[in-house]
Amino acid sequence: MKDIEKLRKAPHMSVRMYMIREIGEKHGISLEYIFGLFDYYNKKNSGRWFWQKAKFTGALKDAFDRFNKMMDELVRSIKKDSEEVAEAKKEGAEDALTDLVEKMERNLELNRDQDKTYISSHIDQNLTALINESLAVFK
């Protein structure tokens, strides 16, 4: 794992975003695509009114909850455990992220190779700013 000491000193959200980016890039998935999927899912599955947000259900909810749990464990491990323990947690987080992305793609009937640019364009300016701000610590 790169710069474990730098990761240990960084804020929780920055470490989480950095690890999502690193894991995603290892599997050919950009941060913009991942968060674009979330935004696209929300647009396709929200209600008629602005307060009716989309919710994950069934297997997708389980995959999302598992991903969040694994990412929280990974960030905590980076902050306090040895590099070897953190690396083991990273492998679990990799599986959780790829599982979540694949289930979202199936749910939305997307083909990553064909729809990558379209989905990546669904990321809004606020989320782009959050990503940039979170990752600025590592530049």
23 in Cβ contact with 100 (< 8 Å):
no
96 in Cβ contact with 67 (< 8 Å):
yes
Q: Angle CA(88)–CA(68)–CA(58) in degrees, nearest 5?
A: 120
Residues 6+ apart with CB under 8 A from 54: 41, 42, 43, 44, 45, 46
Q: Which of 90, 105, 96 is nearest to 63 (CA)?
A: 96
pLDDT, tens digit, for every residue of 48-78?
Answer: 665 566 788 899 999 999 999 999 999 999 9
Tokens found for residue 71 = 């990412």
Tell if the pTM clears 0.85, that is, is over it: yes
pLDDT-derived band of residue 42, with 50, 70 and 90 as boundaries? confident
